[in-house]
Amino acid sequence: MRKTLRGSLLMAGFLAATLGMSLSAQAETLRVKITNLTQGQIFSPPIVIAHPRNMSTFKFGEAASDALATLAETGSPADLAAEVGALGADVATHDGMILPGESGIVTIETTGANRRISVLAMLVSTNDAFFAVDSVKPTGRFSRFFASAYDAGSEANNEDCGFVPGPPCGGMARDEGGAEGFVHVHSGIHGIADLFPADLDWGNPVAMVNVVRGSQP
């Protein structure tokens, strides 16, 4: 009887451990802290996406999706959130913009195979610049990533206030005539029209992303 009971207890313990590991693999809390490293660019409300390894929000040298172009030109993450959410990704967004030198925290619950994360936001005083940490895998308790600024290639970099949503402008028109047509590293602000490099230009990286696994800061 003791042998049978001991065997039952061992089996129960094994099943409990297996179930615990399974639940752990299915759900995890990540606290994502995004810090604006620029001197003059405001970040639109960042979007944090947890997704499988085979999913990516963009590819260099290829055209941006309509949803990514919308984020890069207007700062709105809504279309991108809907697009990746429909594909099974877990999504969370920050509730406001992040000013130069400041930080914002986004908490996201990841599920299933969604073990990679991507973080994106617009640099709002541009035509179509965005920063991105793309498809990285947090390891251990704490991970740190740095993000460069990219050009969605969906709008011309005319630096005209009629086409730039952030300060000192406020325009929401689109100029697709001179768009590059593919995602690439952004070349910065050049003072072509209404934007001043001394105030709004940057050097990469433009953002620091710290990821803490678990609910505690």
Query: How far apart are alpha carbons 80 and 65 in whole angstroms?
Result: 9
In this predicted structure, what is the pLDDT of residue 25?
A: 56
23 falls within a domain: no
CATH of the domain at 50: 2.60.40.2130
Among 9-23, 69-83, 142-156, 199-213, name the one with the lowest average pLDDT.
9-23
pLDDT tops 50 at residue 3: no
Asked whether residue 12 is assigned to any structural domain, the reply reads no
What are the tens digits of pLDDT across the range 79-121?
999 999 999 999 999 999 999 999 999 999 999 999 999 999 9
In a domain, 5, yes or no: no
Residue type, 176: E
Q: Where residue 214 falls among pLDDT bands split at 50, 70, 90?
A: confident
SS3 of residue 81 by DSSP:
helix
Would 94 be classed as within a structural domain?
yes
Instruction: Please tell me the predicted confidence (pLDDT) of residue 216.
Output: 55
pLDDT at 174 over 80: yes
pTM of the predicted model, to two decimals? 0.86
Q: How many domains does the chain have?
A: 1
pLDDT at 124: 98
Question: Which H or E run includes 121?
Answer: strand 116-122
Asked if the model's pLDDT at residue 42 lies above 70, the reply is yes
pLDDT at 177 (0 to 100):
87
Indicate the residue type of 158: N
State both tokens at 111: 């599920």
- pLDDT tens string 53-62: 999 999 999 9
**Which pair of structure tokens corresponds to residue 47?**
């979007």
Mean pLDDT of the residues in the chain: 89
Domain that holds residue 38: 28-213
Residue 2 pLDDT more than 80? no
Q: Is 123 within a domain?
A: yes
DSSP secondary structure string for all residues of 92-106: EE-SS-B-TT-EEEE
As to burial, measured by CB atoms within 10 angstroms (0-12 exposed, 13-18 middle, 19+ buried), residue 100 is middle
Taking Cα atoms as reference points, which of 86, 26, 30, 17 lies closest to residue 213? 30
Q: How confident is the model at residue 27 (pLDDT cuts 50, 70, 90)?
A: confident
Q: Output the furthest CA–CA distance in the chain (Å, rounded).
A: 87
- Report the alpha-carbon distance of residue 123 to residue 78 in Å, rounded: 16
Q: Which two tokens stand for residue 1?
A: 């009887």
Task: Identify whether 21 is part of a domain.
Answer: no
